[in-house]
Each structure stands twice: as C-alpha cells, then as structure tokens.
C-alpha cells in the first residue's frame, strides 16, 4: 500500500478526538511506579509525571485561559508545567523537573482530570473562531508529540539503571509496523521543479510546515530502505567511529567527547555480540531492524563512509510523495535525519499569540528529521512534518536513510575502491568484481578443470536434491543469495516443481537479468522475483512474495568470501528475514591439501587472473583511472592460519593513479587483497550455525575433492 496513503488522520467530532488522544498517555503510564514517573535521566528528558501535567497545562494556557474570566485550577501549577513559553511567565528550569516530588503523581492525575472536564465543557459550548479551533488541534498534536517524548525520556531513564529494567513487557508501538526493504536498493528520481510544504486547507499542520513553496531538486537517488543495525555494525567494524576523515569537525569533537563507539544504548557483550537497551529491557541487537538512537553527526559520518549522503528534506518529501509506495519505513520506524538545517521556509509566519513560541524560536543550529517513529502516534505523521533536534542529540528515536546524487552508482565504486586502496594493507571487497564482465568471467571459471567447487557441488546437489527438497513441504519459497546465473538452482527447481516462488538475490544486474530471462524460458510457470541488492543488507523479500515456508540457498561457498564476523551476521540476518520455520542450504568448500586449493584459484589458462584483474579493468573502464590491468600480477595463496585462500593483485612496478577523490600509490611488489575464500570443516559449520540461530540437520559431503552442503533449520 502507498506509504503516504497509510498515514492516518485525526478525524471525527472534536470531543471524541479529544478523548481518544488524551487516553493514550495515561495508558503509557499505567503499570509504571510513581518513582518511574518522577525521575528524569538528563536535562533533555523530562519525567513522565511532568509530561502528564504539561500536556494538560497546554490546553489550559492556550485555550481555557483565553476567557478573561477564567480561574486556573491551581495557579502554582502554571510555573510547574510551563515548558518554554516566556510570554506565559516564570517556570521550573528544565533540568530540575526531576526534582519535583510535589505535586504528587495523584495530584497531577487529578489536575489532568479537571483540565479534561473543563476542556470537554468548553467543546460543548463551542470553540471561538478559527484561531481557537487551530489551537485546539495544536493541543491534540502537542499531546501526541509528548506521547512519543514520554517514551524516549522513559527509555533514557531505564537505560540509566544498571538493572536494565523493562518499562513494558513488549515495546509499545503507537504506529503500525512498516515494511522493510534493503538499505542498498536505490530508487532513482528525476527531480525538477517541485512544490513542498503544507498546502492551506490540507488538514492540520504546524506553522513551520508552511508556506508551501516551489523548490528545484536536481536528479537524485534515495535508498528504498532504512539503514539497519547490520549496516551500522559494518561501519563500526570498519573503524567508522575512529576515522577522522569521515566526520564533521563538530561531530568528531562530540564523538570523542562522548566516547561514542556505537549508537546510544548499545553495549558490547563479552562474546563479541552487541546488546541494546529497549523499552522492553536489554535485548540482542536485531541486525535486520533499522538503526536507532544515532545523532546527526553519526548519520552524516555513516553516509560518507557508505559513499552516499543524507537526503535534503525537500528530496525526502518529494520522494515520499512521488514514490512512497516503493520506499519502506518512511513512517512508523525511526525519524530520518536529513541534510537540511531547521530554518524558516520562505515567507514563514509563526502562529499568532502565545503559540508563536511553539516552533519559530528554535530555528537555529538544529537539523530536520523526516518521517515518524514506531513511538509516533500514526495519526500524528505527515509527509510535510518537520521534526528537529540538535545535531549531537541521540536519545530521540532517530535513524537514517541514504541518498546520493544521480549516477552515483559509479561514485559508490569509486569511494569503495579509493578507500580500500588508501588502507594499509590495501584491501577491496570482492563484490566489486561483479560487473557484467566480471560475472561473465566467473561463469568461465566454473567450467575450468582446476575449479572443482562448481563441478563437485553440482554433482553433490544432483545426488541429494531429492532428499533436500523432501524437507521443504508444499508451496515453499526458494531465496538464493548471490544467485549469479542460477545454474545450480535448476537442480532444486527440477526436484521441487511445487515451489511457490524463487527469489534470486544478486548485486550484479547483468547476472540477474540473464538468469531471469533463462529461467523464464525453462520454467514458464515459476514465479521469479529478483532482488538486486547487496545480500549483506537484504532484510525483506520483494513485495508480493507468497507466504510459503522460506528456504535459503547459498551455494558456491560464497559464504567463504565473507570474514568470520560477517558470516555470522549474514546468517543471523538471513534467519531473521526468512523466519522461524526456515531452512537454509549452505554450500561450503572443505579444507584440503594446499596444492588442490591453490590450483583452483590460479588456473593454467589465466581466466581467474583475468577475473581478479577485472577490478582494475573496471576502474579504468568506469572511473577513467589511468592504470592497466596488466600492471598487476594475479596471486593466490593459502593462508593456513586463517584457513583461507587469498587472492591478491601484485603491482609489477611502482604505480600512481587517481580513483575518485583518492590517489592510489603502489610500491613495486605491493599488493591489494581482493578476495578471501575461507574453507571449512563440519565442526566449523556447526559452530557458525549455532552462533547465528541455525542448527545443522544434514551435512552432505561430495567425493574428492570434497565440498559440502549443509542443511540448516532455524532454531
């Protein structure tokens, strides 16, 4: 369904809407102790008791007190519950709200009940004109804002306790859950002349959302999905928090000053995993879930690391309006940092009267966030909504989605290659091998006499397909990671004619297109739903995937191309995506004698060398780098300690060439590590499975040279 159409609106008679909105916060407070509701974790966060009172005071100050004959419920509460309205008089300092043991919780709830009674009476007599009607709506939306703050502030308080208390048995959601898509799947936008901001008469909007005005948006790309915890872990493991070149100066100072090593509320556990504090207590970090509790500075550094940038708020709004249905998590997961400073729109005029202080006076030094969070009431979200926080703040439910300039796919390659060649020792991910030429070369490798893995795996699959497929059940969905030409897949498709769908996932568009066309001819009845993403960030199957049991398929020992931590994270994320009753067929190459291993990666005819050199050929072709693939020798060696074959490119002479923003400098004989192919034994596969939420149900081994197919089931 279109995300923008999914937004609920606050509708219906005023009194009913009032009751509905006002019922939420007491529900959130229900079950919490008076102590939970009285304390505050820091000056940015307020106690629950204060939120209950302040949102009531707002109706009193903004609406009830407009009547000159109005007598306040208790004049002393005016200063207790005034937040920042200078025009209304003095108030308790923000950081001292947690010291207010008086009024008691019971007194605050009584005050709340009395304000509700008076406001209902006022609604019965009728609101006085458009301004008062607007202020009433403002009061409802203000209450909803504080419902979310109630939760973020409560989490800050719970996280301050060494006891890791759970505020609730399950995390409360005030918005419907959003569907998710991979953060590396890009939607392309033409941009151009566009109108942004709230249109008059289009329903409630805060004053800062207008006036609607025209902007010019150059072509851009935006990630269909939100950045996930798994993505963030890759940033951490790549030293993202310690690399000054990724950070804004103020961000670097904030990160150093606050000793930031991970998002707020994350904790490194002894076993090397991360846990996170949530409203339901401390939990393992869910790698497929959107990252939360990051500052603007972190979001900005992450985007630079990922070879992308944050979207401007105009881009975000334009994308949500024009293609909201193909973007996931726009609303209802996390607020998304934008690159836009919180400034007035051209012609901005604050709401007249006391409410003038609502938004306008904060228009300096803050950044805009768009969308809404799981803790934002669904009827409070709008496509024009401008949330704002200071760039260092992290306690809000804040995350990010990436954007980049149009045509930036090449930029991502340039950034990754440039950054990899600037490292010591030089290292680049093997995923960059696979442009059209690289994918074609890989297919040639699979039929080389020395390259036993494909041959052996095919033969093993032929022998075991019936046994493996017998475990599927009817109507299953086969999901293949790094599917390439989908050749091996055919053995499973032949053995399981009742599959409901096949989802090939690959980063190479040419490989995917070719496979889909070939399968369409050979299996015309099969539903094929290709997904062109980095499988490390695939979190959601394509829209329209049938409901059957999920069967993961990861052949070719491609898992061996990942580092040990990545292997575990990948399998754990696959477990999350495929669900509780999933199966997973994992192909691994087994440890064997060095000569056989090395020969498989350095064939006599030089095809593997050409595949390896394609990285340089691609840099010359796509990025105009002044370097020849023949400036490098191909080398494959067995690293016994790490139990992996390593492929390197060795500079045959001293070299200097420019890649994107970097100049790559090689001494003669210096290498760049382009691929690792880790090898396994059964015990290693069992340990890996156990640590990532799987159990080994079967372990089929081929004849010599041996490869294996492990059948895993989710635990």
User: Among 189-197, 213-221, 438-446, 638-646, which window interacts with ligand SAM (CB under 6 A)?
Assistant: 438-446
Among 296, 331, 388, 535, binds ligand SAM (CB under 6 A): 535
Distance CA 681, CA 348 (A): 66
Distance CA 711, CA 585 (A): 5
User: Which residues in 467-611 belong to E strands, given as ranges?
Assistant: 477-481, 501-505, 550-554, 583-589
Min dist. Cβ of residue 322 to ligand SAM (A): 28
* Residue closer to ligand SAM, measured from CB, 371 or 420: 420
* Residue closer to ligand SAM, measured from CB, 488 or 679: 488
Identify the CA nearest to 183 among candidates 278, 265, 91, 305. 305
442 binds ligand SAM (CB under 6 A): yes
Among 378, 482, 660, 693, binds ligand SAM (CB under 6 A): 482
Distance CA 185, CA 150 (A): 34
Min dist. Cβ of residue 438 to ligand SAM (A): 8
Distance CA 364, CA 676 (A): 49
* Residue closer to ligand SAM, measured from CB, 447 or 470: 447
Place of tokens 């566009």: 194
* Residue closer to ligand SAM, measured from CB, 359 or 446: 446
Binding pattern for the stretch 378-417 against ligand SAM, x by CB under 6 A and - elsewhere = ----------------------------------------
Helix axes 436-445, 607-623, angle to 10 degrees: 180
Min dist. Cβ of residue 175 to ligand SAM (A): 31
Min dist. Cβ of residue 589 to ligand SAM (A): 11
434 binds ligand SAM (CB under 6 A): yes
* Residue closer to ligand SAM, measured from CB, 48 or 587: 587
581 near 592, Cβ under 8 Å? Answer: no
Min dist. Cβ of residue 542 to ligand SAM (A): 15
Beta-ladder partners of 480: 504, 553
Q: State how far the alpha carbon of 123 is from the alpha carbons of 118, 127, 140, 156, in Å.
A: 9, 6, 13, 36
Q: State how far the alpha carbon of 161 is from the alpha carbons of 30, 41, 222, 275, 281, in Å.
A: 20, 10, 39, 15, 11
User: Among 12-20, 210-218, 434-442, 694-702, which window interacts with ligand SAM (CB under 6 A)?
Assistant: 434-442
Min dist. Cβ of residue 522 to ligand SAM (A): 17
Binding pattern for the stretch 483-522 against ligand SAM, x by CB under 6 A and - elsewhere = xx---x-----------------xxx--x-----------
Q: In what side-by-side order are the strands of the sheet with 583-589?
A: 501-505, 477-481, 550-554, 583-589, 707-714, 694-701
Distance CA 623, CA 292 (A): 35
331 binds ligand SAM (CB under 6 A): no
User: Among 53-61, 258-266, 307-315, 482-490, which window interacts with ligand SAM (CB under 6 A)?
Assistant: 482-490
212 near 195, Cβ under 8 Å? Answer: yes
55 binds ligand SAM (CB under 6 A): no
* Residue closer to ligand SAM, measured from CB, 387 or 446: 446
534 binds ligand SAM (CB under 6 A): yes
* Residue closer to ligand SAM, measured from CB, 491 or 651: 491
431 binds ligand SAM (CB under 6 A): yes
251 binds ligand SAM (CB under 6 A): no
Cβ neighbours for 129, distance < 8 A, ≥ 6 positions apart: none
Distance CA 362, CA 534 (A): 40
Min dist. Cβ of residue 203 to ligand SAM (A): 42
* Residue closer to ligand SAM, measured from CB, 55 or 508: 508
588 near 685, Cβ under 8 Å? Answer: yes
Identify the CA nearest to 120 among candidates 20, 9, 11. 20
Min dist. Cβ of residue 611 to ligand SAM (A): 10
- Torsion angle (degrees, nearest 10) of CA 198, 204, 209, 214: 10
693 near 584, Cβ under 8 Å? Answer: no
Binding pattern for the stretch 452-471 against ligand SAM, x by CB under 6 A and - elsewhere = --x-----------------
Q: How many CB atoms lie within 10 A of CB 239?
A: 11
Cα dihedral sign, 74-75-80-86 = positive
Distance CA 423, CA 419 (A): 7
Beta-ladder partners of 671: 650
* Residue closer to ligand SAM, measured from CB, 141 or 648: 648
Number of residues lying near ligand SAM (CB under 6 A): 20
Min dist. Cβ of residue 238 to ligand SAM (A): 15
User: Among 96-104, 138-146, 171-179, 532-540, which window interacts with ligand SAM (CB under 6 A)?
Assistant: 532-540
* Residue closer to ligand SAM, measured from CB, 354 or 545: 545
Cβ neighbours for 254, distance < 8 A, ≥ 6 positions apart: 260, 295, 297, 391, 392
Min dist. Cβ of residue 494 to ligand SAM (A): 17
Residue 485 CA, distance from chain mean position: 29
608 binds ligand SAM (CB under 6 A): no
User: Among 10-18, 238-246, 358-366, 480-488, which window interacts with ligand SAM (CB under 6 A)?
Assistant: 480-488
Min dist. Cβ of residue 97 to ligand SAM (A): 48
* Residue closer to ligand SAM, measured from CB, 209 or 457: 457
625 near 665, Cβ under 8 Å? Answer: no
* Residue closer to ligand SAM, measured from CB, 357 or 443: 443
* Residue closer to ligand SAM, measured from CB, 367 or 505: 505
Residue number closest to ligand SAM, CB atom: 556
Binding pattern for the stretch 537-576 against ligand SAM, x by CB under 6 A and - elsewhere = ------------------xx-x------------------
For Cα atoms 335, 83, 312, give the angle at the middle one, nearest 5 degrees. Answer: 25
685 near 586, Cβ under 8 Å? Answer: yes
Min dist. Cβ of residue 316 to ligand SAM (A): 26
Place of tokens 């930031």: 260
Min dist. Cβ of residue 411 to ligand SAM (A): 18
466 near 442, Cβ under 8 Å? Answer: no
Residues of this chain, 89-118, that bind ligand SAM according to CB under 6 A: none
263 binds ligand SAM (CB under 6 A): no
Length of the chain: 715
What 8-state DSSP symbol labels residue 703?
S
143 near 21, Cβ under 8 Å? Answer: yes
Query: 252-274: b or e for each residue (b if 16 or more CB lie within 10 Å)?
Result: bebbeeeebebbbbbeeeeeebb
Which positions lie near ligand SAM, rule CB under 6 A? 431, 434, 439, 442, 446, 454, 482-484, 488, 506-508, 511, 534-536, 555-556, 558
């Amino acid at each position: 369904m279109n995300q923008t159409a999914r937004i609920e609106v606050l509708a219906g008679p005023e009194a009913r809407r009032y009751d509905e909105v006002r019922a939420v916060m007491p529900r959130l407070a229900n079950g919490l102790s008076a102590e939970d509701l009285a304390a505050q974790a820091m000056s940015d966060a307020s106690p629950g008791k204060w939120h209950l009172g302040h949102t009531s005071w707002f109706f009193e100050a903004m609406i009830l007190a407009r009547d000159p004959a109005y007598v306040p419920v208790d004049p002393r509460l005016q200063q207790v519950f005034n937040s920042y309205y200078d025009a209304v008089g003095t108030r308790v300092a923000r950081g001292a709200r947690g010291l207010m043991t008086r009024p008691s919780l019971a007194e605050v709830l009584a005050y709340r009940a009395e304000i509700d009674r008076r406001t209902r009476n006022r609604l019965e007599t009728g609101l006085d004109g458009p301004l008062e009607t607007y202020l009433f709506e403002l009061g409802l939306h203000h209450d909803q804002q504080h419902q979310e703050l109630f939760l973020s502030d409560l989490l800050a308080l719970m996280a301050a306790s060494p006891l890791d208390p759970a505020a609730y048995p399950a995390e409360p959601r005030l918005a419907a859950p959003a569907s998710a898509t991979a953060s590396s799947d890009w939607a392309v936008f033409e941009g151009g002349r566009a109108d942004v901001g709230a249109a008059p008469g289009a329903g409630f909007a805060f004053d800062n959302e207008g006036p609607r005005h025209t902007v010019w948006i150059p072509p851009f790309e935006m990630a269909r999905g939100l950045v996930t915890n798994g993505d963030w872990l890759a940033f951490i493991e790549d030293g993202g928090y310690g690399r000054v070149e990724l950070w804004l100066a103020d961000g670097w100072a904030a990160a150093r000053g606050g000793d930031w090593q991970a998002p707020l509320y994350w904790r490194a556990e002894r076993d090397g995993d991360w846990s996170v504090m949530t409203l339901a207590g401390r939990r393992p970090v869910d790698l497929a879930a959107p990252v939360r509790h990051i500052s603007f500075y972190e979001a900005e550094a992450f985007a630079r690391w990922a070879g992308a940038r944050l979207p401007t708020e105009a881009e975000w709004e334009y994308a949500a309006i024009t293609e909201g249905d193909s973007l996931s998590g726009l609303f209802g997961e996390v607020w998304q940092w934008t690159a836009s400073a919180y400034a007035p729109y051209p012609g901005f005029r604050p709401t007249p009267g006391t409410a003038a202080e609502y938004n306008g006076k904060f228009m300096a030094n803050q950044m805009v966030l768009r969308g809404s969070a799981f803790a934002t009431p669904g009827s409070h979200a709008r496509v024009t909504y401008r949330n704002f926080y200071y760039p260092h703040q992290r306690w809000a439910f804040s995350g990010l989605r990436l954007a980049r300039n149009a045509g930036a796919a090449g930029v991502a390659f340039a950034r990754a290659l440039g950054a990899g060649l600037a490292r010591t020792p030089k290292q680049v991910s093997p995923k960059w091998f696979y442009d059209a030429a690289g994918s074609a070369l890989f297919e040639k490798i699979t039929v080389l006499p020395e390259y036993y893995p494909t041959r052996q795996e095919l033969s093993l699959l032929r022998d075991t397909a019936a046994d493996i497929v017998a475990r599927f059940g009817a109507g299953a969905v086969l999901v293949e990671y790094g599917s390439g030409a989908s050749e091996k897949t055919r053995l499973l498709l032949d053995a399981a004619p009742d599959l409901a769908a096949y989802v090939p996932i690959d980063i190479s568009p040419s490989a995917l297109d070719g496979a889909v066309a070939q399968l369409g001819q050979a299996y015309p009845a099969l539903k094929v739903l290709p997904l062109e993403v980095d499988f490390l960030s695939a979190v959601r199957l394509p829209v329209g995937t049938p409901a059957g049991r999920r069967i993961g398929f990861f052949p070719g020992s491609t898992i061996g191309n990942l580092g040990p931590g990545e292997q575990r994270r990948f399998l754990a994320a696959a477990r999350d995506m495929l669900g509780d009753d999933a199966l997973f067929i994992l192909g691994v190459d087994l440890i064997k004698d060095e000569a056989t291993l090395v020969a498989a990666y350095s064939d006599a005819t030089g095809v593997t060398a050409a595949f390896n050199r394609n990285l340089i050929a691609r840099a010359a072709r796509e990025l105009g780098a002044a370097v020849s693939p023949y400036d490098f020798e191909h080398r494959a060696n067995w690293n016994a300690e790490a139990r992996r074959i390593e492929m390197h490119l060795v500079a045959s002479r001293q070299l200097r060439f420019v890649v994107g923003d970097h100049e790559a400098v090689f001494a003669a004989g210096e290498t760049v590590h382009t691929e690792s192919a880790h090898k396994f034994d059964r015990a290693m596969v069992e340990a890996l499975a156990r640590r990532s939420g799987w159990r080994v149900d079967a372990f089929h081994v081929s004849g010599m040279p041996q490869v294996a197919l492990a059948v895993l089931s989710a635990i």
